[in-house]
Amino acid sequence: MKSISVREIAKFFNGEIVGDDSRSFALVSKIDQAIPGSLSFLANNKYEDHLYSSAAGIILVSRTMELKKETDATLVKVDDPYSAFCEILNKYFNTYSEKKGIEDKAYIDKSTICGKDVYLGSFSYVSANCKIGERVKIYPNSFIGEGTVIGADTVIYSGVKIYHDIKIGSQCIIHSGCVIGSDGFGHAPQRDGSYLKIPQLGNVVIGDHVEIGANTTIDRATLGSTVIGNGVKLDNLIQVAHNVEIGENTVIAALAGVSGSVKLGKNCVIGGQVGFVGHIAIADGTQIGAQSGISKNVDEPGKQWIGSPIMPLQDAFRTQVVYRKLPALKAKVEELEKQINELQRNGQ
């Protein structure tokens, strides 16, 4: 790719250049493993020593950065070095975003409406009456069910299965192996011990700027919609059950399981392997530590929880202190029991 000047980067982020403003870069790298002449960034002051030894020619740093000694690199001071670096990667280095056109052996039904510059990879199948927005990318071996709507600039990677009547917003990323819109786990117990399948007649509605990790599954609603709000980020291997609602900008780490009809608030942070029982509500801004089990509503917004069943984070820390003392307490109790027994035998 062509070289990008430090002046162009500084102008784009309204940044301040410290050092040689004639430099340019065509590569990016980590600050501690930098390729000579590349662009890197420093977002955590813990790694500041690398700033003075890095081979990078240009380094993005915080506006508040005060140098402790000289560096050979040209610095660009910006509001948020990490976010700026991500924007540069997307703007100049994400070559996969340039794909467009329909490859051989892809199928798209004639009733489906496609916007301009859509990409459809080989062996993908787009069913009838779909609406595919501009610049959508559907990679090989994916399936799009009848009546599904996909917003502009969304990327669907290989092997994704999207069932019928699903609504997906703009600028979403859906990674390989995801299944969206499969039936919810609805079965009515019968008197003879068998189960009657409950038809799952709803759909899934996904907002804008949502990212869904590999092999995550989102079930369609029994009635109504399973809803994933704008800006939600789901990690790999997550199960979202029928009629769940996840509020905007909530993030969930891998291996979490969200049971049916749970309502997760906005801006929540959910750790890995967290499990939710069904039909509960979680307040906005809730943070839940890994491997926790949630069996009741969380009503107070903005609190941190951990454990199974969950307890406030600070209570959990105090409880851990007690746990560590239990062996010594047990020995002390046993010693006291021996003393009491000895006194009783002596008639005291």
Q: In this predicted model, what pLDDT tens digit does every residue of 237-266 receive, in sequence order? A: 999 999 999 999 999 999 999 999 999 999
What whole-number percentage of the chain has pLDDT above 70? 99
* C-alpha span between 89 and 106 (Å, rounded): 30
Please say if 242 is a catalytic residue: yes
Number of H helices, E strands in the chain: 4, 39
Q: Residue 295, SS3? A: coil
Edge-first strand listing for the sheet containing 233-234: 101-102, 119-120, 137-138, 155-156, 173-174, 211-212, 233-234, 251-252, 269-270, 287-288, 304-306, 311-312
Instruction: Give the pLDDT confidence of 60-102 residue by residue, as tens digits.
Output: 999 999 999 999 999 999 999 999 999 999 888 877 667 889 9
Q: What is residue 345's predicted lDDT score, i.e. its pLDDT?
A: 85
The CATH superfamily of 99-311 is: Hexapeptide repeat proteins (2.160.10.10)
**Mean pLDDT to the nearest integer, 274-284:** 98
Q: What is residue 151's predicted lDDT score, i.e. its pLDDT?
A: 98
* C-alpha span between 122 and 104 (Å, rounded): 6
Q: Residue 87, SS3? A: helix
Beta carbons within 8 Å of 348's beta carbon, 6+ residues apart: none
Q: Per-domain residue ranges for the chain? A: 4-93, 99-311, 312-345
pLDDT value at 271 more than 70:
yes
- HSE, side-chain direction, 13 A CA sphere, residue 288: 36
At residue 346 the predicted structure's pLDDT band, cuts being 50, 70 and 90, is: confident
The residue annotated as part of the active site, out of 50, 175, 209, 242, is 242
* C-alpha span between 123 and 246 (Å, rounded): 32
DSSP code string of 28-44: B--GGGPPTT-EEE---
Q: What is residue 1's predicted lDDT score, i.e. its pLDDT?
A: 65
User: How far is the CA of 8 from the CAs of 60, 67, 246, in angstroms?
Assistant: 13, 23, 39
Q: What is residue 97's predicted lDDT score, i.e. its pLDDT?
A: 67
- Which amino acid is it at 335? E
Reported as type and span, the H/E element at residue 343 is helix 313-345
* C-alpha span between 119 and 258 (Å, rounded): 33
Burial class (CB in 10 A: 0-12, 13-18, 19+), 124: buried
Structure tokens belonging to residue 20: 């040689």
* C-alpha span between 348 and 345 (Å, rounded): 8
At residue 190 the predicted structure's pLDDT band, cuts being 50, 70 and 90, is: very high
Instruction: Give the pLDDT confidence of 114-134 residue by residue, as tens digits.
Output: 999 999 999 999 999 999 999
**Mean pLDDT to the nearest integer, 279-284:** 98
144 contacts 138 by C-beta, under 8 angstroms = yes
Q: What is residue 335's predicted lDDT score, i.e. its pLDDT?
A: 92
CATH of 4-93, one of 3.30.470.20, 3.40.50.300, 3.40.1390.10, 3.20.20.70: 3.40.1390.10
Instruction: Give the pLDDT confidence of 196-251 residue by residue, as tens digits.
Output: 999 999 999 999 999 999 999 999 999 999 999 999 999 999 999 999 999 999 99
Instruction: Give the pLDDT confidence of 10-65 residue by residue, as tens digits.
Output: 999 999 999 999 999 999 999 999 999 999 999 998 999 999 999 999 999 999 99
The chain-wide mean pLDDT, for the chain, equals 95
Q: What is residue 90's predicted lDDT score, i.e. its pLDDT?
A: 87
Q: What is residue 2's predicted lDDT score, i.e. its pLDDT?
A: 78
